[in-house]
Structure 1
Amino acid sequence: MVLMGFLPDLPRYLPRSKTLQDSVSLLCLLWTNCRRGIPAVLSVDMPEYGKAIGSLRRTLERSKKMTLQTLASAAILGRLEYSFLPSSGLMRFGVHPRGISTMTQQLGPPGRDDVVYAAILRETYKVLTPYWFFTGDNVFLNEKQWKQPIQKNITQKIGSSSLEPHEFAAMEVAARHFGGMYDQLCECHRIRSEPHQPAAIENSHGAIKYAHDLEETAAEANTNLLRAAIQSGDVEEVVDQNSLPKTSYKISNIHLGEILLLSLRVQFLNLRIYYDWAVLYDLLQADELYSRLKDLAVESWKYISFLRGIEFFDATMLSPALWPSLELANESERQYLMDFFTEIDNFRHTTPKDKKEEEMRILSYTAIITGRKSAKRDLNS
């Protein structure tokens, strides 16, 4: 579980916190079950899950001062819920993330050399991203005093000074995307409700420009980082007859792979939104944008080999960057992708999902995060 970079630091904190002990015990249980091939699914009937939640609740009720151990406990539970809850229900996006947001703000920004807290914040950002998307709550982690330690933590993990400016550019565009995502999608829904009314047409100009500018910035950041990583030897494009594009990326560092996939995802989503506006308003560039989407889909498939080579627990956090490509795939490509997405999810050893059902879930999610479908009716799905 490389992406949860604060885990190696936890043993020294365990004796100080029963809450952290219970969260770590749940993590170890689920991970051990995965390794043994035992179904690993969180449910309210699971004693260890109830114990961890109850322990966290009691700590919050009794403690007058927020601690790093308590936030780490909540961050671990947040990641476990993301990975092991059987559906994307309210438990994932409701009370718990709101609590993590409040706890983090109470604890305050990390000190200059507080590397453990910075690593926990990095995990917290991932846990809170879906929450921000569904609620529009304040994305305070994009503020300078929070963002800089998180970015520094990631660049230290990558460890290549020549890539650092390009890494920061990619992370900045991702922060911009997530910070404005809720408002962007709300604007999409408002315009789409009556797209040919004069007010909607007028508002669409700003919405189209926003998606276009963000896609363009993300494309530049992603291209520059990938080019620099290839030049430095941190990424190598190799022949791979088993892949859809017949080449794959070999990436030396999982944290670098995370940033590359993150900026690719931001580019993909905003290019899709831009394309949808072009179709809706019959813009001349619609065909060109669709062609670029197809090219970007093929580019994303070069990361499949990399995702197969890392821990499934991490791969489930990164593979959604490829979900938008499913809409651009032909029948054989779609079958290949669904085999891959199912394989990645099988680490939980749950009852195999119907592939068609899983495909519809991915397509529905993509429609939601590109503003073509409302998320509200899907919260309990």
Structure 2
Amino acid sequence: MTTSADRIAARLVHHIDNAPERRMIMQTARLEDFPRRLDGNASLRDSIALLCSVWASYRSKTPSTEFISMPLYGKAIRSLSRTLETDHAISVETLASIAILQRTEDLFDPGDRRFIHEKGIASLLARLGPPKPDDKFYSSLLCECYSILVPYWVKTGWNTMLDDPAWKAAIVACMTDYIGIQELQPMLASSLTQYNHVSQRLPEIMRGMKAINTPSDKAPGFDVSSLVSKMATELRDMEAAAGETSSSAMAKAMELGAVTEVDDPTFIHGTCYHFSSTNLVQSLISFVSLHLCLLQLRYKWSSAYRLSDSQALYASFQTRCHQLWKFIPFVRRVKLFLANIHQDAFALTLEIANQREKRYLLDLFKELDSYAPGRFEALITAS
């Protein structure tokens, strides 16, 4: 006799077996490990049930519904609450349950997202500690949790947990395992340090950028003060480091044959990138996106204060935008996960796009808007 957990496990296996790239709904490469863990954790079982249901609805183009009105969502939340009151509360399975709920909401819920689950993920990670080297399931899950928590900590205040060498080593190890290319480990370690530093500094940087758009009435419009010079130097150092990591990682991946540039007559610029795996493209697009964001911040700062490098920085920004576009044909094939988490970087490139390029980008945003209605509406309308 089959149990509820058996049926939900079978449904998840069906999704994974029919289209392996669908695992990109989560950053963990070990979705296939979930089914055998469902019997012992009701919260994980019900989170997976919700994921499978809304995932199937998306693929069948069923109109999305706000989660707050979905019985399956209510059941998943109640199961999580009950689990947190049991001996299973501090477990990797419970962490997986919360991460799945967060990612499922982020991808499929057309309602507002307000960092509902991130605090719980951060607290549970701190209680569990870094994964042991042989715990591949937890290590893979840590990749997911890291990508979830960085935006949360940027908004709420940086958590020094990521400055701990044990956590850093664990994250680099799980990222390397996730990609499967040992030669990229130095770039991953460098990128992690950069991501953490930029994320920690981002609130102050953005306050400085806001000052560009709303200068004090008493301040001279383009006074290159010590504050301006200090910010320009900091942005330069961060941008240069991110650019070096991005370029080195792409060069190494191409040298190894894991990335190739191929002809594509349907693409706006004729050639685009092909990647050996969806796991690899996830990391490489993150490298390029980080550098792109820092380039934009740097050239806007330089332009606002008429610094001498503004034109050269804009040219570099254009080059990086063109490079990011070469990811799009591959990304569209796994658009649900990759395009969603990098939507801000793709949106930045609209700034340099001509009409033909803009139409191409807007088509991408319209595709994404089809499963999360309204998420890209303002961007599409404004463009």
TM-score normalised per structure 1: 0.85
Which amino acid in structure 2 is aligned with residue 163 of structure 1?
L
Matched with 1:359 is 380
Structure with the bigger RCO (C-alpha within 8 Å, sep 6+) is: 1
* Aligned counterpart in structure 2 of residue 144 of structure 1, from 165, 187, 195: 165
Return the alpha-carbon distance in structure 2 between the equivalents of residues 215 and 85 of structure 1. 34
* Aligned counterpart in structure 2 of residue 207 of structure 1, from 219, 224, 231: 231
Which amino acid in structure 2 is aligned with residue 234 of structure 1?
A
Are 1:154 and 2:156 an aligned pair?
no
* Aligned counterpart in structure 1 of residue 184 of structure 2, from 144, 149, 163: 163
Are 1:33 and 2:54 an aligned pair?
no
Structure 1 residue 214: Cα displacement: 0.9
Structure 1 residue 190: Cα displacement: 5.7
Matched with 2:114 is 92
Structure 1 residue 200: Cα displacement: 9.2
Return the alpha-carbon distance in structure 2 between the equivalents of residues 30 and 355 of structure 1. 19
Return the alpha-carbon distance in structure 1 between the equivalents of residues 158 and 190 of structure 2. 24
Return the alpha-carbon distance in structure 1 between the equivalents of residues 285 and 234 of structure 2. 21
Matched with 2:206 is 185
Structure 1 residue 187: Cα displacement: 4.1
Which amino acid in structure 2 is aligned with residue 335 of structure 1?
R
* Aligned counterpart in structure 2 of residue 285 of structure 1, from 300, 306, 309: 309
State which drifts further: 328-337 or 200-209. 200-209
* Aligned counterpart in structure 2 of residue 66 of structure 1, from 90, 95, 107: 90
Write the deviation string for residues 212-246 of structure 1: whole angstroms up to 9, x where unpaired.
11111111111111111111111111122222222
Return the alpha-carbon distance in structure 1 between the equivalents of residues 312 and 335 of structure 2. 37
- With over 3 angstroms needed to count, the CA separation of the structure-2 counterparts of 1:197 and 1:140, relative to structure 1, is farther
Matched with 2:142 is 121
Are 1:133 and 2:180 an aligned pair?
no
* Aligned counterpart in structure 2 of residue 301 of structure 1, from 313, 316, 325: 325
Write the deviation string for residues 83-123 of structure 1: whole angstroms up to 9, x where unpaired.
11225x3x432x42122211221222222322211111111
Return the alpha-carbon distance in structure 2 between the equivalents of residues 71 and 354 of structure 1. 27
Structure 1 residue 132: Cα displacement: 1.7
Q: Is the 8 A contact 1:42 1:49 kept in 2?
A: no
Structure 1 residue 254: Cα displacement: 1.5
Matched with 2:106 is 82
Matched with 1:224 is 248
Return the alpha-carbon distance in structure 2 between the equivalents of residues 269 and 313 of structure 1. 20
Return the alpha-carbon distance in structure 1 between the equivalents of residues 172 and 65 of structure 2. 32
Matched with 1:310 is 334
Q: Is the 8 A contact 1:166 1:221 kept in 2?
A: yes
- With over 3 angstroms needed to count, the CA separation of the structure-2 counterparts of 1:200 and 1:133, relative to structure 1, is farther
Q: Is the 8 A contact 1:132 1:182 kept in 2?
A: no
Q: Is the 8 A contact 2:232 2:298 kept in 1?
A: yes
Structure 1 residue 16: Cα displacement: 1.1
Matched with 2:197 is 176
Which amino acid in structure 1 is aligned with residue 185 of structure 2?
E
* Aligned counterpart in structure 2 of residue 263 of structure 1, from 287, 310, 318: 287
- Gaps in structure 2 of 5+ consecutive residues: 1-22
- Gaps in structure 1 of 5+ consecutive residues: 364-381
Q: Is the 8 A contact 2:64 2:108 kept in 1?
A: yes
User: Secondary structure at 2:272's aligned position in 1?
Assistant: strand
Structure 1 residue 139: Cα displacement: 5.2
- With over 3 angstroms needed to count, the CA separation of the structure-2 counterparts of 1:14 and 1:142, relative to structure 1, is farther
TM-score normalised per structure 2: 0.84
Structure 1 residue 192: Cα displacement: 5.8
Return the alpha-carbon distance in structure 1 between the equivalents of residues 282 and 189 of structure 2. 13
Write the deviation string for residues 158-212 of structure 1: whole angstroms up to 9, x where unpaired.
2223333333333432333223323332344467654674999332222221211
Structure 1 residue 337: Cα displacement: 0.4
Return the alpha-carbon distance in structure 1 between the equivalents of residues 96 and 162 of structure 2. 16
Return the alpha-carbon distance in structure 2 between the equivalents of residues 27 and 354 of structure 1. 19
Return the alpha-carbon distance in structure 1 between the equivalents of residues 283 and 351 of structure 2. 23
Matched with 1:374 is none
